[in-house]
Amino acid sequence: MVQSHSLQEAIDHFRKEEWCAALIDAPGVKSIMPSARRSKSASRAESEDELFRTSLNNDNAVPQMLFIYQEPEEAKEAAPSAEKEASLKLSIMSASLIMDLREGVKGFNSFAHGGFLAAAMDEAMGGLIFTNYEYQRDLEDAAVKNGGHWEPPAGVLNMNQGVRIVTASMNTRFRRPVSLPSFVVTTATISRLDGRKIYLDVEVRDARAQAKNEACATCEGMWMTMAAPPAKSRI
């Protein structure tokens, strides 16, 4: 049965484990529902993600998910820089997807399936990029509401210029098994931007890996910006 939880229910659920609570309650950290666990009407951009929204959204697979990130400092006016392109970045450079994994995501040897972990890492990367889009759109809306206009500071990529960003490649490594059931944190961090390419580093950790400061799985991901498709003709 598909689950439907509020943000507070998800926060309370993951606070049950001390190591997750420490991440959620760290100073400046904001918790939001992942786009795949919101109603479509609650998202700015309609998500077609049925894997995490429906297929895995049950008591035997991934009943609870939460997305957390460090809130950026207030944007400050910055003079245009000749190095803008070389030092391009996003407003939010790192974020974590917390999941409650159950036995429905087991692989052959009873640990979490490697293909599922790869999907989780892709989901974390996509969540980081989508959160940047929402963050900038919120600032835009607030500025317009006050009769003004918002633009990102010099060196920050404008996420609202009609571009699409998609997964281009993933170099995945599995380092230690993830036992089930368990809470798992998948952290995606942007390493650099190079033209149309966005490079990310991703780590998957469970409680044991976190205690040893190790990763269960890692990924070097690359996403590409693409021009938005032309608007459909009304004729």
List pLDDT tens digits, range 186-207: 999 999 999 889 999 999 999 9
Cβ atoms within 10 Å, residue 23: 19
Amino acid sitting at position 103:
E
Q: What is the pLDDT of residue 75?
A: 45
- The predicted pLDDT at position 81 comes to 46
Cβ contacts of 207 within 8 Å, gap of 6 or more: 17, 19, 182, 183
Predicted confidence at residue 160, as pLDDT, reads 79
pLDDT number for residue 214 = 97
Task: Extract the tokens encoding 118.
Answer: 């790869």
Distance CA 203, CA 219 (A): 7
Q: Hunting for tokens 């032309």 — which residue is that?
A: 230
Q: Are 224 and 165 in contact (CB under 8 A)?
A: yes
Two tokens, residue 198: 């966005």
Which conformational region is residue 32 in: left (phi greater than 0), alpha (psi within -120 to 50 degrees), or beta?
beta
How many other C-beta atoms can be found within 10 angstroms of the C-beta atom of residue 153? Answer: 15
Give the pLDDT score at 79: 44
Give dist(CA 110, CA 76) in Å, integer: 50
The predicted structure's pLDDT at residue 1:
55
All structural domains of the chain: 7-71+83-227 (3.10.129.10)
Interval 162-179: pLDDT, tens: 678 999 999 999 999 999
Q: How does pLDDT run along the chain (235 residues), one tens digit per residue?
A: 566 789 999 999 999 999 999 999 999 999 999 999 987 655 555 567 899 999 999 999 999 999 999 999 754 444 444 444 456 899 999 999 999 999 999 999 999 999 999 999 999 999 999 999 999 999 999 999 999 988 888 889 888 776 789 999 999 999 999 999 999 999 999 999 998 899 999 999 999 999 999 999 999 999 998 866 555 544 4
